[in-house]
A and B are shown apart, each in its own frame.
Chain A
Amino acid sequence: MSKLNVDIKPVRDIISKFGDGQDSNLIAILQQSQDAYGYLPKTALKEISRLTDIPLTRIFGVVTFYSQFALIPRGKHAIKVCSGTACHVKGADDVKQKMKDILNVGEGETTPDYQFTLETVACIGTCFLAPVMMIDERYFGKLTADKASDIVQKYSEKTQE
């Protein structure tokens, strides 16, 4: 992975907003930092520890406890392939495999250019469209491997522009 340069300013701003009682606001601080960075960079966590006096180990414990937090940078776009029962029956595995092939990443991983993070999710409630995937907040249904591949292709072209 290419090394990301992390700007420390956003996390400082976030912490300064909380003033006293930062201890009890740790989760909120972490959420906002994740929103700001897209994930929780090590440098940001160390800065949080330094400014709040909360031991880094405790912060790390909290971060790994909640699945909402990510320690590694995520792609600009989150691709979530549904692996619920209906989708599974209708060939979600092919879609998933195709995604892995064209992006050259495994599940939960991010492409080296930080464009896509591939994830699988449980039923997302649109079984009538199975197999389904989501890219960011958009749904794509009745997929085949090739259709899915075209969609992703379009996204990457768009980001290239």
Chain B
Amino acid sequence: MEKVKLTINGKTYETEQGKTVLEVARENNISIPTLCYDKRLDPYGGCRICLVEVEGARQLVTSCTAMVGEGMVVNTESEKVIRTRKGVLEYILSDHPLDCMTCEATGCCELQDLAYTMDIKGIDYRSGEKIGGVIPDRNELIYRETGKCIRCGRCVRICGEVQQDYAIEFGGRGFKMWVATPFGESLLDGSCVLCGQCVSTCPTAALFEKKAMGKGRSFQVKKVRSTCGYCSIGCQIDIHTNHNGIIKITSEVGAVPNNGNLCMKGRFAYDFVNHPDRLDTPMIRVNGNLEKASWEDAYDFISKKLKDIKSKYGSDSISFISSGRCTNEENYLMQKFARAVIGTNNIDQSETECHAPTLTGLRNSLGFGTTTNSIEEISKSDVIFVIGANITEAHPIIGLEVKKAVRNGSTLIVADTRRIWLSKIAKTYLNLQPGTDAYLINALMNVIIKEKLYDEKFIEGKTEGFKELEKAVAKDEPKEAEGLCGIPEETIKDAARIFANAKRATILYGNGITQHSFGIDNVNSLVNLALLTGNIGKEGAGINPLLGQNNGQGAFSMGAVPGFYSDYQPVSDRAVRKKFEEIYKVSLPKNKGLQIREMFNNAYKGKVKAMYVMGADVLMSEPDTTRVKKALENLELLIVQDIFMSNTAQYADVILPAACFAEKDGTFTNIERRVQRVRKTVSPPGEAKADWKIISELATCMDYPMDYNSPETIWEEIRTVSQNFAGINYKRIENVGIQWPCPDTNHPGTKFLYEEEFGNGKARFSATEVKSSHEKTDKNYPFILSTGRTLYHFNSGTMTHRTKGSVQKQPYSFVEISQEDADDVGIKDEEMVRITTRRGQITLSANITNRVMPKQIWIPFHFVSAQANLLTIGSCNATHSKGNSSLMPEYKICAARVEKLQ
């Protein structure tokens, strides 16, 4: 960046070309008022309150749009500036109701603040025209009041530029201008996604959180910074509470990683927190019924039962399911409990069912089984390859980064079986047939190798196994892929060239890649593609799995997996085990532990006798529900520790009520390996306790004292046993999280991995023979069914189904089906249909859409009323287990039938 010097108010500043006068002024603590400005938006220059005087300019200029120039002389406080600004503000106020005494925004209104600081007294000129009032809208989240609108356009712009949802627009003109939805329809009816971004940027009370109204002004409420408990982006949130609990959630512009942006779930889906359905006391099953019990009784019951089962059937008859929803500290304790207290490596968690292949694939070829690069780097990539990930719904804030990048000129390639939102802005959309990802990726590599577009230097210096790869993909001609994937040969070639010619290309992939029985091949192929083009170890590049749950990343790295202790230290390594034995002061099990899927298979067969499930609704989330149910029924002891009476909990012998993310301290690790603070803002209901506390007390009760007095003390232990986390402590992450690896307290954390070298010295290509092993369609089951996430709900929906907005926008489950197929089956939009697979059936409403291709259907898995996993396949492809922990059920593809409900 070229440097320029300019003078502001008589002082000289050096800065970079390309900044605005306002930015430079603010960086140097020179205050300039603004109203239509938001850092997240393009410069606009609409309100004119930010006027400054620039020497040589004929008129005052708006500092939010004026770019700095060499030798510029700026005055932000001249008499003329002050007078004019005052005039501007008086004009704005002239048709603004002077309602501050009853206005919701009092105390957090930019207009009010300016009137105060600029000392506006008694507005002389009232336009007299009273315009607009409250806009009636049946949505339960966003309040709109035209009278308080100052027409700054921030809402319209954030909806168009950042969200790109185009749900609102100015209607009319002049003084009669208002923020409109088409035909005055409700926000629920148009393209609005209820993100509340418009509310977040509105400087006045013209847009406001309905749920917060009448619950206290900003200066009367407590505000605590924490981390969102939904998806894995780990948005920083500010939780506002009054004496009754949470009243709203906001985020600060500038916060890492989300820069003040939040999605509908993060901003509004907190109603579950003090919902009457929350579990608030321990329960024990007596004569078939769950009865309330004291904590002592529950601990005694569990401890006695576990000891019994252990002595009768051995430690490995007990299994533990930890949780990507819980904190790092809790996951660490859970694995410690399994290994040190019970003596088994049967510990796993539900994120495994999404990303086991990621863990294994990335670890084997690169060194760490995790995301290589950071969220902010997406905007620095010139090519973004999104495959098997519906980012705008499952990872909305990363979706915003992708949208921003494309808007600024990056090229987007999308490969998905469905016409997802991002396909609309993609340069190339590869509409592939289900289960053909590896064919496609291999074909891309075939082109890249044939046309010599690969990064020879990188391959030479940093990788091994290229020759094998070359051989393996030689036969995967794009022509052949055309037949399999259903994508024209030329399109594949184009995509390959675009990807290979990029200076920085990033790969973002999701469950569409991993949740197949051959998911490991898909992941390996993607790694190969990234290595082939030298896109690992540099900024704006990398291979980035989009883990689903808020702390799936942490659950993996804290050792809640059968093969590893914290920090991916292998259980099979004797030296490592010895180290942990010294710290845990017990001898630790050597047996290979069971993966979550194997736990259920073994319970089904009667080999696993007890299960301890923390923060997971396995009955909903595991494939082939019917079989899982049998497995749970077979158990002699099922302990469920959760915040709601989930489907799984109904089978429990003991229920332990837990605190949710807003009710406890600790840390989550987000998708980009950033360890971030979670803070207690409200108290858990009744006798519910934080998971870490429950585990510690139970361990103590079982004669293995765990006397941690806070999550911080647990973290201190984690640091000492986990080299890559050693440099992170609570003090350092007070304001901004740190990305591991971070080996010592002077280390800034690692933005992207492998800049110097790979974990295993060199990165390894793993040539894969592509295969397809999914269930075949036939006369009786002619459709290919796939499942996934939506924007408005989360996992099994225990939280979002208890939340306004989510329920209003998406009250019940649906199946996406093409018009063509709907005609064949004889159904109209929103008619009820029955979906049957070889394992079960559900009924739900039809959503006729061109998002899915003919002969394919898609169902979200968030609804208890229509459990998608009654349909999916539970089997794992045994040939892929081979001792590498990448067992994966086939969630994504099965054969199904659609019938009209008579």
Contacts and interface: CB of A to CB of B under 8 A. Distances in A.
A57 B183 contact: no
A42 interface: yes
A64 B180 contact: yes
Interface of B: 160, 166-173, 180-183, 190-191
Of A58, A59, A61, A65, which is in contact with the most chain B CB atoms at under 10 Å from its CB?
A61
B172 A57 contact: no
Given A56-B190, A57-B182, A57-B190, A64 B166 contact: no
A151 interface: no
Of B168, B169, B172, B191, which is in contact with the most chain A CB atoms at under 10 Å from its CB?
B169
Nearest to B176: A64
Contacts of A108: none
B173 A56 contact: no
A29 B173 CA distance: 21
Nearest to B165: A55
Contacts of A60: 169, 171, 180-183
A56 B169 CA distance: 9
Contacts of A59: 182
Interface of A: 42, 45, 55-61, 64-65, 71
Given A55-B191, A58-B169, 11 more contacts: A55-B160, A56-B182, A56-B191, A57-B182, A58-B166, A60-B182, A61-B169, A61-B180, A64-B180, A65-B172, A65-B173
**What are the 5 A-B residue pairs with the smallest beta carbon separation, nearest first?**
A55-B166, A61-B169, A57-B169, A64-B171, A60-B182
B182 A45 contact: yes
16 contacts: A45-B182, A55-B160, A55-B169, A56-B190, A57-B167, A57-B168, A57-B181, A57-B190, A58-B169, A59-B182, A60-B180, A60-B183, A64-B171, A64-B172, A64-B180, A65-B171
Contacts of B170: 61, 65
Nearest to A71: B183
A88 B616 CA distance: 77
Contacts of B168: 57
Of B167, B173, B180, B182, which is in contact with the most chain A CB atoms at under 10 Å from its CB?
B182
Nearest to A45: B182
A64 B174 CA distance: 12
Contacts of A61: 169-171, 180
A40 to B, nearest CB: 11
B156 to A, nearest CB: 8
A71 B190 CA distance: 18
A71 B171 CA distance: 12
A50 B654 CA distance: 55
Contacts of A45: 182
A99 B311 CA distance: 97
A60 B170 CA distance: 9
Contacts of A64: 171-173, 180
A159 B160 CA distance: 47
Nearest to A59: B182
B419 to A, nearest CB: 14
A154 B629 CA distance: 80
Contacts of B180: 57, 60-61, 64
A116 B169 CA distance: 31
Contacts of B166: 55-58
Of A60, A65, A71, which is in contact with the most chain B CB atoms at under 10 Å from its CB?
A60
A56 B181 CA distance: 9
Contacts of B181: 57, 60
Contacts of A42: 183
A55 B181 CA distance: 11
A66 to B, nearest CB: 9
Contacts of A57: 166-169, 180-182, 190-191
